[in-house]
Structure 1
Amino acid sequence: MGFRDLKNAFKKLDLHQKSEGQPEDQQQQEEQPSKTYDRAPAPPPPGSSTSEQSNNPPPPPPSRPIDGNSILDTPIDTGAPLEIFRKIKHEQAPIGCCCEQRDAPIHTNNFYNNLTIGDQTMPCWPLPYSMWYSVDPDQDHGFAFNHTDASQRVFGPDPGAPTAQYYFNPPKIKSFVLSAENFSNPALKLNDHSVMSVTASLEKGNAKITIPIVQGMGFITAIYENAKPVIASQVGVHEFNKAGGVINNVQKYTAKLFNQVVWSVYSTVDLTLKDPNHIVANGPGIIQIARGDSQHYDETAGCYIKSAELSASADGDQGQYKFTYHTEGQSKSGKTIVWALPHHQEVMVNVQPTDLVLDSPTKGVMKAYVTNELVMQEQLPVDIVWEPWAVFSAGKPSYSNEVKDLIKKAAVEDVKQDVVGMANIDSMYTSGKVLDKFAHIAYVCRFILQDDGLLNEVLPKVKQAVEIFANNTQPYPLAYDCSWKGLVSTAEPGADFGNSMYNDHHFHYGYHIHAIALIASIDPNWLSNNNNLVLNYAKALVRDIASPKADQWFPQFRSMDFFNGHSWAHGIFPSGDGKDNESSSEMYHFARAIKLFGRVIGDSSMEKRGDLMLAVMKRSVNMYMLYTNDNKIQPPNFIGNKVSGILFENKIDYATYFGRGTIGDEWIHGIHMLPITPISSYFRSPQFVKEEWDQKLGGIIDRIPDGWKGILMLNKALFDPKSAWDWFARDDWDPALIDNGMSRTWSLAYIGGIL
């Protein structure tokens, strides 16, 4: 499962602008509804009685936030990266940012990264709005933004099919462009980089527009200095009315566009409709715009969000994460207004939603809250650790002698393999899978079989293989990139799934960290051997993908977006549909790796961070990526796919970057399964796995000729362990039917432990 040229793969998958045969410029300027689906789209605020959610009973009173200990304050490390990592400057430097070694890290895998790469004109999605730098010829230059309803989504390739292969939201419809008088070709600069926000500024001479871009912000805000505001609209303004004062010198206006969508505009300077495409001001000031017309906007206008901060705490099996919105200005309520996604809404504490609702591009209906912070509380999977586990298993795994004999028979064969030769290859991803495979085998030999002979045959080999990477002597060593601030492969950009371009780091490094944690559970002293060789290596990987705080050397949580509730795999390649994540299972495998590594090194904060990421991911994955028949978030004509395939910010494509399958669509499903570990059943419920099997996989399983069959059969154990056991335990075993990252030993041990 691989590809060599990621750029071509991205172009191939970015189907939407051509799939319906509509010219790109026409798609961007028209806001014609495409195919609708059964659920009514979110109307312009406030929510009307036709909204699906308006008929639901009010939520119960929120619980109290937990009084736990912060789990983000303990750094993994504070010093410079290890000397074994050669320092380099990336060939693709960030655009519009300071990127010297002394500068703060710049995020590579979060929502605003499109603004720092290419020509900076690809959109970003702070949600519910999309925003982009617009310098199209013969049009107003500035920062454009829009919001799309669910009714505008385009389904394809056959819009009338019962189950669509993909859907996307029409891109780059310029509801508004924040521009200024005599403002052609302004430079876009970015400052104040954080995991949830960035400050954009458009500069032309001494004229400047500052635009804070923050996840969940209720208003699009522009602060003008030495520039007269011009608010352009390619859709066109049909009606523009002054509604009166709000607070201090803030005036409210309403703008009804020709697509009949109403927007509220708040300004500290007088605004006039110059022509259907331009609203102009009489001088510099602050302008705030939000979709719809609501008293909640009136109560919060005048106060704008300049940045957001993530914090988290834990107490026992309860975890909490919080978004603190830092504001400027004053409002009637003393607060601002923010938007939250469905996975936030279910676990929000101490604040009730308003009646404002807006559709998100791919994550259902967002709700607005009048508050300066959002607090979410999750129950943590603290009891799912090393041993085989499933939601239906009872107590500690117990193995009969007959079962153990069969596991040993498989282990005798597996430990003979050339671990070092298989692992010491030119791919951090594939080598990580191999290391994890044999670390699992060693775990089985030690704790399930309790066979010292087998353990002593496999453990030294897997330790030796890991130490090649810990010494950074693999074929393509890692280097420390001083431009973006991270550990990258020295392979060329198209190799190893784009590791050198920050693609998939959580997949790649997650396997290595998980393998190290498994081995350390067998031999804790190994981590500190050779002056903490392996310990320092693993910490460096964790620091790259999941640092709890940003520092001089690494960003905060490169590989976890708490606002979206999951990771983004897509690195520093521009994308018209934003970031994406393909493998939900390798994503949560990374979070499990953080948890287990924290456990073996005695870092309880790291362990709890892993638990919290798992809990947040579970909620979001089962809303946005894995679809039971009763899923209420995704369109009814899409949930029949059962899995997202590739989830982008602006579209979902039931596909993979490497193909669909040899027989059917088994690769699309399998990439959301591997690897199967004790955390798999926490995410993949028996209900979901059975539905997926009955509707998509059971009919093709007998014809699958390769290792994907083993993945699908081990996944079947999550609802039917008996038939899965029979398949792996049979006498006519064919090793060709098992993936290179899994073993028959672990498969039998896992299934035998949950039977």
Structure 2
Amino acid sequence: MGVKDLKHMFDRLDLHHKKPEKYSRPKFPTPKDNNDNIFAKPIATGQPPEIFRRVQHNQLPVGCCCQESDCPIQTNNFYNNLTLGDQTCPIWTLPYSLWYTTDPGQVPGLAFNHTEASQRVFGPDPDAKTAQYYFNPPKIKSFVLSGENFTDIKLSLENHNKFSVTALLSNSSGGRVIIPLVQGMGYITSIYQNVKPLISSQVGFQEFSKCNNVGDLKKYKVMLFNQVTWSIYVQGDVELSLKDPNTIVGDRPGNNTLIQIARGLSQDYDDSAGCYQERADISANVSGSKGTYKLSYTTKGNSKCGSGLVWCLPHHQEVLIEKTKESITELVLDSPTKGEMKSYKTNELVMEEQLPVDITWEPWSSFSTNNGYSDHAKDLIRRAAQEEANQDIVGMANIDSMYTSGKILDKFAYIAYVCHYILQDSDLTEKVLPRVKQAIEIFAKNTQQFPLVYDRSWKGLISSAEPGADFGNSNYNDHHFHYGYHIHAIALAAHIDPDWLHSNDDLVFNYANTLLRDTASPFADEFFPESRSFDWFHGHSFAHGIFASGDGKDEESSSEDYHFAYGMKLYGIIVGDKSMEHRANLMLAIMKRAMNMYMLYTNDNKIQPAKLIGNKVSGILFENKIDFATYFGRGTIGDEWIHGIHMLPITPISSFIRSPKFVKEEWEQKLSGIVEQIPDGWKGILMLNKALFDPKSAWDWFSSDNWNPALIDNGMSRTWSLAYIAGVGGY
């Protein structure tokens, strides 16, 4: 995310210090002690280390309680827009979008809509064969949940959870509308208390009719003026009627009156109406190389089929177990950016993935086996290591950016790894490793230029730099990118010297654990939220922190996302935390499936629109749009920055995610024609990525006698590049 983008976001936010609002919020439940559940064991417990100064964030969450004793609030997931600014940017529970509306002269309340693929807007030239972007029209008010004389309402949020939050619309007269918001929820559900229901529509109601009751539920059919039909179910004494073409009203105040609305008409709605989701929780177990993960929905109410209705995405649908598949319905709705969603009459989604258990430290690719290193290859690698080992490791790493310093640390930790394990050169190892450790310990002691601080408001570990600096780290942008490099570097160094991790009273061990608690805690505790970065429903992480956005959360670097999970896996191996290792493997397996549907496009991709496939990568993937771009530009020559940000860094896990088929197509269709003109480090990134399908030509380039170090990224080394390429068959 670029500085200009951050400044634009700040213009939309009230960053002045505010007194936190008071709401009663219960503590998060700790998962039951289940030895088979890989989410049951914490990374660590207790206060973050005292070296991280405690602060109150200068941008407090809106509509939430955020005292030090309160539980953490999610910063990078689907509902975060409701905690920011004026709370009016949309959120996506999928397949529906919802937003708080306070537009002058219109009915206030919680609005919602569903858009279908035919409504997508492509640009900038809508007639181009390959579009740069598409987006779904936002804020079409199909419905607005409100109440009669509900003019002085406010929106607050309760029951914060990774997959859910409860929205509460209330007024000074004691009226309340409770709206549970859960990822994948089948209906828009509202519970009315002491307020007469009023449901508005800016699209307008062309037809409104009452149908036969479904058990104790009143059923209504509504057709809007856009010719889209919806079903409404009511449980309680309230009767609905059409007041005018834009307004449906109830005949009396609700007394815990349940109103559920869903797009379309279906027997499956009749079967599952009356039951609604309040929250969801994840659990998983691993057997061998198979990981089974479950999203369990906590529900209220009753239905004919005995369960609620849940929507799931294409990457879920491929791996659902048979029992879950049997509960499929006839209903299909488009998601904004992730293809068609299907619905299931169930209270749990259970999925199975094959895990990359065999990919650990050594160079790996999906098409070759590491058969060792020839003497000539080792000689070239050694010469590169000798040259790069002379660089000022400590000085290069001790800079003002957690992100860039992490890349530097990782670069030299990989050089140390190559010297120790591949070259088996103790002299070179001793030349590099102590300085890598020294550089890491600057951060472990929190004595870098901008030390990290512990934020008591949102609950997290953030940079003490200004919010516009370091890619927005202090406002929770990109934590998995930044901290992933540090964790991976620590794992590499500790792999060489395991005792170092626990020296100096567990200095580095505690540092790494705190970074992981911030980004990937298996469950929420008193000090950190559950899984801040990775979204277990979407199948990838979101990098976008506490900045309001009209198109929702986003991510522009798929590769730094899975690099984080890979570093977490290696660290789990080092410290003997099998649950952490299993969670990381499960994340990687899910990412492989999801990213190749939503972010990395082979020619036969069936999820994204045909007009986008030619870009080969998503660029920035938002909840509501895809833009073939980056926050920092397109490239010096062509679009190499957009492609390269989905490549770096190249590690043994890269080939697991980026198949030879995809990499070859991307190279031939987008990169081969521009690579020779690239004058900077992005060329090295593209050339090392080429080793994922053609390691021999990549070897020829990196082993050239006319080597130019200006052509590799500052987070890359020639040492590791040669070692990786030779290890996957390049020499």
Report 1:175-574 matches (<5 A): 175-205=142-172, 206-248=174-216, 250-268=217-235, 269-283=238-252, 284=254, 285-349=257-321, 350-352=323-325, 353-394=328-369, 396-574=370-548
CA distance in 1, matches of 2:561, 2:507: 26
One-letter code aligned to 2:340: V
Contact 2:6 2:472 in 1 (8 A): no
**RMSD, matched Cα:** 1.2
The answer for the alignment partner of 1:603 in structure 2 is 577
1:185/1:641 Cα in 2 relative to 1: closer, same or farther (>3 Å)? farther
| 1:284-324 deviation digits (Å, cap 9, x = unpaired) | 11100000000000001111111111112211111121111
**How much does 1:184 deviate?**
1.3
For the residue of structure 1 that corresponds to 2:92, the secondary structure is coil
2:47 pairs with 1:117 = no
CA distance in 2, matches of 1:12, 1:407: 50
CA distance in 2, matches of 1:11, 1:719: 43
The answer for the alignment partner of 1:33 in structure 2 is none
CA distance in 2, matches of 1:411, 1:115: 50
The answer for the alignment partner of 1:736 in structure 2 is 710
**How much does 1:535 deviate?**
0.2
Question: Percent sequence identity over matched residues?
Answer: 67
CA distance in 1, matches of 2:452, 2:620: 27
One-letter code aligned to 1:548: P
CA distance in 2, matches of 1:708, 1:163: 24
Contact 1:135 1:185 in 2 (8 A): no
| 1:606-658 deviation digits (Å, cap 9, x = unpaired) | 00010000000111000000000000000001010000000000000000000
| 1:39-96 deviation digits (Å, cap 9, x = unpaired) | xxxxxxxxxxxxxxxxxxxxxxxxxxxx992101110111011100000000000000
One-letter code aligned to 1:82: P
Contact 1:303 1:335 in 2 (8 A): yes
One-letter code aligned to 1:347: V
| 1:655-710 deviation digits (Å, cap 9, x = unpaired) | 00000000000000000000000000001111100100001000000100000000
One-letter code aligned to 1:386: W
CA distance in 2, matches of 1:360, 1:3: 28
**How much does 1:10 deviate?**
5.7
For the residue of structure 2 that corresponds to 1:198, the secondary structure is strand
Contact 1:592 1:679 in 2 (8 A): yes
Aligned length: 699
Q: Unaligned 5+ residue runs, structure 1? A: 14-66
One-letter code aligned to 1:253: Y
Q: Unaligned 5+ residue runs, structure 2? A: 13-33
One-letter code aligned to 1:4: V
One-letter code aligned to 2:81: N
Contact 2:111 2:141 in 1 (8 A): yes
**How much does 1:4 deviate?**
3.0
Contact 2:210 2:220 in 1 (8 A): yes
1:572/1:407 Cα in 2 relative to 1: closer, same or farther (>3 Å)? same
1:12/1:751 Cα in 2 relative to 1: closer, same or farther (>3 Å)? farther
The answer for the alignment partner of 2:41 in structure 1 is 74
Contact 1:388 1:397 in 2 (8 A): no
Contact 1:362 1:624 in 2 (8 A): yes
For the residue of structure 2 that corresponds to 1:638, the secondary structure is helix
CA distance in 2, matches of 1:247, 1:615: 43
Pick one of 641, 652, 664 that aligns with 2:638.
664
| 1:213-258 deviation digits (Å, cap 9, x = unpaired) | 000000000000000000100000000111121122x111010000
2:147 pairs with 1:145 = no
**How much does 1:397 deviate?**
4.0
Q: After the TM superposition, which of the residue ranges 161-170 and 317-326 deviates more from structure 2?
A: 317-326
One-letter code aligned to 1:351: T
Pick one of 626, 629, 649 that aligns with 1:652.
626
For the residue of structure 2 that corresponds to 1:404, the secondary structure is helix
Pick one of 644, 649, 666 that aligns with 1:675.
649
One-letter code aligned to 2:336: P
**How much does 1:11 deviate?**
9.3
2:135 pairs with 1:171 = no
CA distance in 2, matches of 1:10, 1:690: 37
For the residue of structure 2 that corresponds to 1:407, the secondary structure is helix
Contact 1:262 1:292 in 2 (8 A): yes
Contact 1:114 1:574 in 2 (8 A): yes
TM-score (norm 2): 0.95
For the residue of structure 1 that corresponds to 2:611, the secondary structure is coil
For the residue of structure 1 that corresponds to 2:285, the secondary structure is strand
Report 1:54-73 matches (<5 A): 69-73=36-40
CA distance in 2, matches of 1:311, 1:401: 48
1:457/1:390 Cα in 2 relative to 1: closer, same or farther (>3 Å)? same
Contact 1:68 1:314 in 2 (8 A): no
CA distance in 2, matches of 1:723, 1:596: 29
Contact 1:150 1:361 in 2 (8 A): yes
One-letter code aligned to 2:351: M
Give every structure 1 segment of 4 or more consecutive aligned residues whose post-TM-superposition deviation is greater than 4 Å: 9-13
One-letter code aligned to 2:725: I
